[in-house]
Amino acid sequence: MKTFDELTAAQQDDAIGKVANNLLADIAEGAIWFYDTLKGDGLQARIDRAIALAVKKKTPWFASEYIMDTCKDDIFGMARSAAEDALYSEKNETIVHGIA
């Protein structure tokens, strides 16, 4: 297993990108919700406006793109934190998920 710091720069970028894509999909589907009153950054309001714009333009399948237009830095910041906390398996390593 490797930690984030043991990955090459290209592997780190790939890891962050994968986490960001998964996070964006969850946000666009409404599986993740942010409480603007707690953090005060208006992230959920920006997400809601982006989704509303996609619906208004009758292109809801582009909601993710609209979200990224206004929330890219936030999403990649969260993705980087999650990627830094993860472990990365080497080839032929057995991984068992969901035990603890």
- Residue 40 in tokens: 């005060």
- pLDDT at residue 99 greater than cutoff 90: no
What does the pLDDT read at residue 42?
93
Task: Compute the C-alpha angle 3/74/23, nearest 5°.
Answer: 65
Cα atoms in the 13 Å half-sphere on the side-chain side of 31: 7
- pLDDT at residue 74 greater than cutoff 90: yes
Determine the average pLDDT of the residues in 79-92: 95
What does the pLDDT read at residue 75?
97
What does the pLDDT read at residue 100?
74
